[in-house]
A = this chain, B = another copy of it.
Amino acid sequence: MDRDQTDKDDEASAHERPTLKTLAFMTGLGVTTVSRALKDAPEIGAETRRRVQLVARQIGYRPNRAGVRLRTGKTNVISLVLNTEREIMSFVSDIIYGVSEVIADTPYHLIVTPYSRSQDPLDPIRYLVETGSADGVIISRTQPNDPRARYMLERGIPFATHGRTDMGLIHPYHDFDNYAFAAEAVRHLAGIGRRRLALLTPPVGLTYHGHTVNGFADALSEVGASEVPFNTVSIDHSIEQIRMRTAQLMRRDDRPDGFVSSAAAATLAVVAGIEDAGLKLGRDVDVVSKQSSDLLHLFRRELLVVNENFRLAGSELARSVLGLIGGAAPGSLQSMSLPGEVVAYRG
């Protein structure tokens, strides 16, 4: 009996958190055996394995994350990197929920790593990589030539991007088909007789800005409608600015009779601007907008909406990173989400 040998301090103690040592003592085995039994290693006898796992379950053993992390370097952490000021609000919580859903029955934790406007977006990524704080990273506001993606690709850090890049490099992503969205929006507007369309774009510099612009332009020429330039603002601008610019635009003679807007909050401003100019939605002008929660049709029943599901995006992104960590091929972890139909008010 090597009991008296082993228990120099542990065991008896009231109710500490159980460790491998505790399990080893209870089962009469060595810590090594217990460790391997718990992870179904082949060199452990079937009965022993079952026995250890039973006891572990009974006493609610949970591996100490710090121990594992120190020994193996595995953090069991997925980091979601967010821009503190720019990210559209509802977007964030939906993504978080989506990620959470997927992560829920894995050993992974979600940590939110913020960065602010003043910082280089690469900063938080560098921090994560240098300190080895995460096994996987999710980034958004993806650019065609994204230094963050390049950086992580170089160091072999698993990551997924919300939005595609365009660097000829393969990595996991999830993206909404903004080309299709813009094109569909234009077709719909043309279908209800609108000929002079304006586009409120995503932030210049982000990949989906290009997609949106292209979809818009291609569909314009397809349906033979024309563009009214509206480049002075993007959805990143403040509500006030968008509103003001829209009002300015709508007071001109060559004003558009249709709008395509890439974000719900911005659409509120566009509509306000339209009304500031004394025009009426649905009569003088129609607006197709993306939205992520089902609220725009309450705002103005005349609004035309296309839904983008950010919760889904979060889930897909989480799945991708986990897949990549699990050794799947990056190319197999890319997904697109297609826009639904343009929907008019169904009330």
- Listed stretches A90-98, A166-174, A216-224, A323-331; interface member: A90-98
> Given A89-B293, A268-B298, A293-B89, are A84 and B101 neighbors across the interface (CB < 8 Å)?
yes
Return A272 CB to nearest CB of chain B, in Å.
5
Distance in angstroms between the alpha carbons of A342 and B282 in the assembled complex: 32
Question: Which of B65, B69, B133 contacts A109, CB < 8 Å?
Answer: B133
The answer to whether the Cβ of A60 comes within 8 Å of any Cβ in the partner chain is yes
Report Cα–Cα, A93/B112, bound state, in Å: 11
- Is A62 in contact with chain B by the CB < 8 A criterion? yes
The answer to the question of A17 belonging to the interface, with a C-beta cut-off of 8 Å to chain B, is yes
Nearest-CB residue, chain B, relative to A77: B111
A66-B70, A93-B87, A97-B84 known; A269 and B298 CB under 8 Å?
A: yes
Interface membership of chain A positions 82-121, coded 1 if the CB is closer than 8 angstroms to chain B and 0 otherwise = 1010010111111011001100100001111110100000
Give how many copies assemble into the complex.
2
Q: Is the C-beta of A232 less than 8 angstroms from some C-beta in chain B?
A: no
Alpha-carbon separation in the docked complex, A69 to B243 (Å): 50
Which residues of the partner chain B approach A87 to less than 8 Å between Cβ atoms? Answer: 93
Bound Cα distance A75, B111 (Å): 13
Q: Does A271 contact B (CB under 8 A)?
A: yes
A58 interface residue, CB < 8 Å from B? Answer: no
Q: Is A332 an interface residue (CB 8 A)?
A: no
- Rounded to whole angstroms, the CA-CA distance of A70 and B65 in the bound complex is 9
| A330, B338: Cα distance in complex, Å | 50
Give per-residue flags for A275-309: 1 if the beta carbon is below 8 A from chain B beta carbons, else 0.
Answer: 01000000000000000011100110000000000
Partner of A100, one of B84, B90, B109, B243: B84
Q: Determine the distance from Cα of A133 to Cα of B104 in the docked complex, in whole angstroms.
A: 15
Q: Are B295 and A268 in contact (CB under 8 A)?
A: yes
Q: Are A62 and B96 in contact (CB under 8 A)?
A: no
How near does chain B come to A298, taking the closest CB pair, in angstroms? Answer: 4
Indicate if the CB atoms of B271 and A130 lie closer than 8 Å: no
A75 proximity list for chain B (CB < 8 A):
66
Q: Which 7 A-B pairs have the closest CB atoms?
A: A92-B93, A66-B69, A100-B114, A66-B70, A268-B298, A89-B90, A89-B93
25 A-B contacts, Cβ less than 8 Å apart? A17-B130, A62-B130, A64-B70, A65-B66, A65-B131, A77-B111, A82-B96, A87-B93, A89-B90, A90-B90, A90-B93, A91-B93, A93-B93, A96-B112, A96-B114, A97-B114, A100-B112, A100-B114, A109-B111, A239-B298, A243-B298, A265-B295, A269-B298, A272-B347, A276-B347
